[in-house]
Amino acid sequence: LIDMAKKNIEKDGKEELIAKGHIKLVVGDGRKGYASGGPYNAIHVGAAAPTLPQDLVDQLAPGGRLVIPVGPEGGDQSLDQIDKDLSGNVTRKKLFPVMYVPLTDKERQWRGKDL
């Protein structure tokens, strides 16, 4: 997946974004985020989590925002906006109904293939 992402970035002529460190590609469990790169001002998740992943909320910087589809696979899902204010208080707002693919772990995505 990382090789495919790199090729797509290169095909768009944007390889300097990787070279300059503006984009970092990592293999991991998206439900857990990437704590060592945080805290983040913004997190966007492109697949639905069955419940709001607390790890992602914890990685938001004060003043940060997380946008994530939440709900069961094939069920009622909503696009949720999670904001952390400057004091660290978290608020959650359901924006509208959506239908996304599930946010899964590496084993489910790759069906047992070794990475």
pLDDT at residue 113 is higher than 60: no
Alpha carbons 88 and 74: distance in angstroms, whole number: 33
Backbone angles phi, psi at 43, to 5 degrees: -135, 125
Please give the model's pTM, rounded to 2 decimal places: 0.80
Strand order in the sheet with 77-84: 40-44, 60-70, 77-84, 90-98
Burial track 41-61 (b if 16+ CB lie within 10 A, e otherwise): eebebeebbeeebeebbebbe
CB 71 within 8 A of CB 78: yes
Q: What is the pLDDT of residues 46-82, one digit of tens each?
A: 999 999 999 999 999 999 999 999 999 999 999 999 9
